Amino acid sequence: MSDYKSKTTKGAKGDVVSHDKKTSWFYTDIVKEHFFNPQNFLSENPKEGVFNAMGKVGSPACGDELRVWMRVDPATERIKEFKWKTFGCGSAIASTSMTSLMVTEGGGMTLGGARKIRPQDIMARLGGLPARKFHCSVLCDKALRDAINDYYRRTNQIEKIVVEAARIVDSASKVTDKDIEEAVLEGACTLEEVQRKTKVGIGNPEILPAVEELIRFYREKYFGND
């Protein structure tokens, strides 16, 4: 699983270089454009009643916190406005900026259509992201779905709310399948790396085959076959 346009060599050069100067990766011109000139960014919280849906999500792993606001046309359930603000990295900013355009272009996506947006769709419009930054597009995807649920909650369409439940994989450590998914998105490729992040299966070896299967599933889901 390799980073988009990345390299691992001593003295590597790129848009971003690690502290040890051994790893770097490049961002596409589209990513840089959305980072330096973010679209639909909101510097302050909006006034009450301006928007009729709000979503939020945070990722303690990289320090990102994202909030989005939507104005949905009740007659058509199309997204007419999508504003956002985040405390996050360049990839998170670019991903959210691009998403704000995707859901409002062409008269606005329906909520049903917006719910089908995948992180891969956002990344494709950006021309790619480094693999270690892929979780930033997932962050935006989750905030969008949270806002869609919030709209349905406000309009009393409870039957349309989709709850993403987590399943406990290791009852001893309380690690869920979502914890493993997040670990893979943050760059954990092997069982050992996932265990370092989550402590799953430590002292509970009988569940390790299931954990390895989940790791393979999420790697293929987000990054394709190795």
Active site residues: 62, 136
Q: What are the CA-CA distances from residue 110 to residues 9, 117, 142, 155, 190 (Å)?
A: 46, 11, 17, 15, 39
Query: CA-CA distance, 149 to 160, in Å (whole number)?
Result: 8
Q: How many CB atoms lie within 10 A of CB 137?
A: 29
Query: CA-CA distance, 96 to 223, in Å (whole number)?
Result: 20
Closest CA to 152 of 162, 143, 142, 138: 162
Query: CA-CA distance, 168 to 172, in Å (whole number)?
Result: 10
Sign, CA torsion 181/138/131/223: positive
Query: CA-CA distance, 92 to 31, in Å (whole number)?
Result: 10
Asked if 40 and 84 touch (Cβ cutoff 8 Å), the reply is yes
